[in-house]
Amino acid sequence: MELSEQFMEQMRAILPAAELQAFAAAMGRAATVSIRRNVTKSSDFIDGFRPVAWCDKGVYLEGREAFTFDPLLHGGCYYVQDASSMILHHIAAAVSGGQAVRWLDLCAAPGGKSTAIIDALPPGSRVVANEIVAARAAVLAENMAKWGTPAVAVTSASPAEIGQRLGGAFDVVSADVPCSGEGMMRKDAEAVAQWSPALVAQCAARQRSIIDDVWPALRPGGYFIYSTCTFNREENEKMVDYVVERYGAESLDLRLPAAWGLRAGIDTPHHCYRFMPHLIEGEGLFVAVLRKPGSGAPMTVKPERSVKRLAPYATLLREPMSIVERRGTVVGTPPDGFLATVAQAVRTLSEGVALGAVKGKNFVPDARLALSTALNREAFPTAEVDYAKAVAYLRGEAIGLAEAPRGFMAVTYEGVALGFVKNVGNRANNLYPQPWRIRSSHLPPAPPCLVAPAR
């Protein structure tokens, strides 16, 4: 990878001269590989991995594994995520302070930061993961379904729509905004090829627009978490300066340990944190936490009651939820009504737990129900499969289940639910969603051995 002279000139203005060579050398090295486990679906990592200092649920691997062919990844037991981005887990725990919050992750696809946030929040919290680009929103919805947390909605709306229709709705808004991607250059050749000062200026203008549009959705006294994966000051410190000056926000000192190796903001009086690849193991990241002035509770919402004819489907869940219908799908949604209010305000891909669809006299369970931590595991018989059969299932192939009862069954691998089949006797019809299926016919001799599933 060859970095342009214009880019290096920019970095000379940011870094001390003594560090520039170390930075260039770090940008030439291979990126680190790290994963973060799902606290609800795994009990621990397999021994031997080095921990990520700022996230007790994250570890570094020695190299890339055959993640695509690990059923536990598809079952939501862990997420492959750059270590720097895992700081959102630490920040979420800090700003929530042990209190349930309503959280908007504005630019959420593909879902790494959202899942890190979810696992750090206390019970009773509600998370809205949003992505404006339709194709990316579909990937986000898939990853949220696999993570399995029921108190989550996935939306696909513009920041302006959210700001206008959900004023004061959220205690916290996090925005990992679209940026020039300088921090991803050693992982993405396109980021190197497309970089220019004009791109930086274009991104900065877009970031100001995003902040202006979504700011009304944050309640007075709420927290705004701004992050990028780039190095320049225009998209980082100057954007924090803009929010403080325009909206009277207060930057928060997170008091992060010096041993973590994070760099403070450059030429700004405000609290900012930089992950620089020559100082930490991870990619470039910038993050700051800002508090909106004032105080006040988030907007009030009406509780949502179960639709009477659908109430019997509540037995499919192991926790109380309102049972309603959304676009032909029976859904379990938190009864406080917050996610339902969001779904009424903006385009929503998923909300709570999709249970299935009523087709004539039959009920066909949804794969998202199998993956949800809210599933009542007694509601369906299970078919535990070996590795080869699990991968075949994830490819969408019909699988044989000897001596299994007829009807709908949950397919499990090492006790982790992957989805449903309908066993018709001589075969089991595969109900795994077509867009999620593994495309490759390759089968490694053994799956990666990374996490221990919860039992």
| Residue (of 14, 52, 10, 53) closest to 35 by Cα position | 52
Report the alpha-carbon distance of residue 31 to residue 186 in Å, rounded.
7
Report the alpha-carbon distance of residue 66 to residue 386 in Å, rounded.
17
Tokens at residue 210, please?
A: 């995003």
Please pick, among 55, 229, 272, 449, the residue that the annotation labels catalytic: 229
DSSP 283: -
Report the alpha-carbon distance of residue 226 to residue 224 in Å, rounded.
6
Report the alpha-carbon distance of residue 105 to residue 98 in Å, rounded.
19
Report the run of H or E that residue 103 belongs to, with start and end.
strand 102-105
Q: Give catalytic status of residue 229 as yes or no.
A: yes
Report the alpha-carbon distance of residue 81 to residue 75 in Å, rounded.
16
Provide the 3-class DSSP secondary structure of residue 238.
helix
Q: Which value, to the nearest 10 degrees, does the dihedral of the CA atoms of residues 96, 100, 105, 110 take? A: 100
- Longest CA–CA span in the chain (Å) reads 73
Provide the 3-class DSSP secondary structure of residue 310.
helix
| Residue (of 274, 215, 221) closest to 250 by Cα position | 221
Tokens at residue 327, please?
A: 């676009």
Report the alpha-carbon distance of residue 364 to residue 395 in Å, rounded.
20
Asked if 212 and 263 touch (Cβ cutoff 8 Å), the reply is no
Helices (H), 318-437: 338-345, 367-371, 387-394
Q: Would you call 349 exposed, middle or buried from its count of C-beta atoms within 10 A (0-12, 13-18, 19+)?
A: buried
Phi-psi region of 75 (alpha: psi -120 to 50; beta: other; left: phi over 0): alpha
Which residue numbers are catalytic? 229
